[in-house]
Amino acid sequence: MSDTTTRAGLTITGPLNSDYEQILTTDACAFVTELVREFRPRITELLANRISRQQQFDNGALPDFLPETATIRGSDWQVAPIPADLQDRRVEITGPVDRKMIINALNADVKVFMADFEDSQAPSWAGVIEGQINLRDANLGTISYTDPQSGKHYTLQDNPALLIARVRGLHLWEKHLLVDGAQVPGSLVDFALYFYHNWQTRLNNGSGVYYYLPKLQSHTEAKWWDDVFSFTEQKFKVATGTIRATVLIETLPAVFEMDEILYSLKDHIVALNCGRWDYIFSYIKTLNNHADRVLPDRQVVTMTKPFLNAYSRLLIKTCHKRGALAMGGMAAFIPAKDAGENEKILARVTADKELEASNGHDGTWVAHPGLAATANGVFAEYLSGGKVNQLDVSREQDAEITAEELLAPCEGERTEEGMRTNIRVALQYIAAWISGKGCVPIYGLMEDAATAEISRTSIWQWIKHGKSLSNGKLITKALFADFLEEEAKVVLQEVGSDTWQSQNFDRAKQLLLDITTADELVEFLTLPAYQLLD
């Protein structure tokens, strides 16, 4: 059945079947409708505030700590105590809400699985609703899957990882659901359906309902979420703090408001996370008009760069001062079949996690179960003797981290090889995304929307400011178009003509050309790409 259905004020334009009806019940729809009517107007205001703030940056201003909230930064306060099952988060794995992936992630040697409705999930109608079905079954402990090709059967093992759901960002709308004739925020859909179908199960298991919040740019956005949480807890008559959140600090404006974000969510927050790939993307986007802050090749922008290391250390210092955990960033590598190559990968992961753990992070992310043992090994050295986190690492003796450090230009070359790699990665990722797959292994890395965003915005900014490659070639729209044609042929050879045709590569190529050569920076590639997604 694919006719439009209206249920408790929620108009559903996506197809329904008996399984979907279990998620989109009348009462669940009523809850979504209630939240949308209460909180959608403020989202519109918050998004308008983002635009006006970006105009200030485009006109020459730089992000900075807010003078009007100095008293919050300067006063003594703590967030609510961290629940027992969120105290030890030394290694977390992330991935989309695909049924088999959920089972494998929950069975991995990690403390937490972040089930993702955001950057590693393409929000097709089927993906959104089946994701909710899968998470409901995971929380019930009944989830299983039989691979139709291999016949292999997947079930949950004993003591699975703790499940945390990541909702979509505030900028993303759900086109298959309408309230009062207008699209509803994807973030509220993900939040409401997950809470509605799982809160009783999770409380019965002695836990709470836990979320990751992405892409926040300000403490006013954090306050909006706090109000959503409080409204929900009161409606369902559960204790304050039943809902707990970890906020990703993955936008440049947000790094200057970490104290304020913690304060705005202090009854509900447990941690901040270094969402470093999105943070690099946001650095490019926020400072896109600043010719003196153009980043080099994506491949050399690592956490050892001064602006990123300062961000990591400030996040740890801020969190631990307030009693919150400070989560590290993603290791996006995929283990290699070749033993020698895999040894090099694990050495790089070890060095990355060693930097995080020695800085004082309480835990870290991996994209593949095969990296869990390496990450666990590093953090075990810092969490010996029964320690479960590094809240005792205060970094209070550090020199004050300044806005200048957080905004420092980044040294490094812009190479033709790097530009061509960016093109191939972005092309393959966009093709996968508009085909319904948001998490894609490409050239030994698990790519999601954030890394594709870096790839295309870097080139856009190089074109805008008339930068040259290290071999002297001027980076222009025409050069990009030529490289795109050439690299598309390389990708066609790599994936084969059948995959090229079946996975929307021609549409992806046109979209990549359009957004990379646009005069104005397209804020998120997922916005135009969503129009191509069923």
Q: How many angstroms separate the CA atoms of 212 and 203, rounded?
A: 18
Residues 113 and 168: their CA atoms lie apart, in Å, by 17
Conformation bin of residue 323: beta by default, left when phi > 0, alpha when psi is -120 to 50: left
The half-sphere exposure of 114 on its side-chain side, counting CA atoms within 13 A, is 33
Sign of CA dihedral 25, 27, 30, 32: negative
CA distances from residue 333 to 241, 366, 380, 385 in whole angstroms, order as listed: 35, 8, 21, 30
* Residue 231, CA distances (Å) to 93, 236, 243 in order: 30, 9, 11
Residues contacting residue 140 through CB under 8 Å, at least 6 positions apart: 201
DSSP string, 438-506: --EEETTEEE-HHHHHHHHHHHHHHHHTT-B-TTS-B--HHHHHHHHHHHHHHHHHHH-HHHHHHTTHH
Q: Hey, what amino acid is at 262?
A: L
Bridge partner residues of 326 (DSSP): 272
**At 510, which amino acid appears?**
Q
Q: Please state, in angstroms and rounded to a whole number, the distance separating the CA atoms of residues 374 and 372.
A: 5
Instruction: Provide the token pair at 319.
Output: 């969190």
| From 7, 166, 276, 298, the catalytic residue | 166
Among the listed residues 7, 168, 448, 456, the single catalytic one is 448
Count of other CB atoms within 10 angstroms of residue 102: 25
For residues 199 and 245, the answer to whether their CB atoms sit within 8 Å is no
Inter-CA distances, 216 with 256, 390, 454, Å: 12, 25, 18
CA dist 69 and 75 (Å) reads 10
Q: Is residue 166 annotated as part of the catalytic site, yes or no? A: yes
Q: What is the DSSP letter of 400?
A: P
Is residue 456 annotated as a catalytic residue, yes or no? Answer: no
Residue 141 token pair: 């402990």
d(CA 489, CA 496): 10
* Tokens (6 digits) for 18: 């008996």
Active site residues: 166, 448
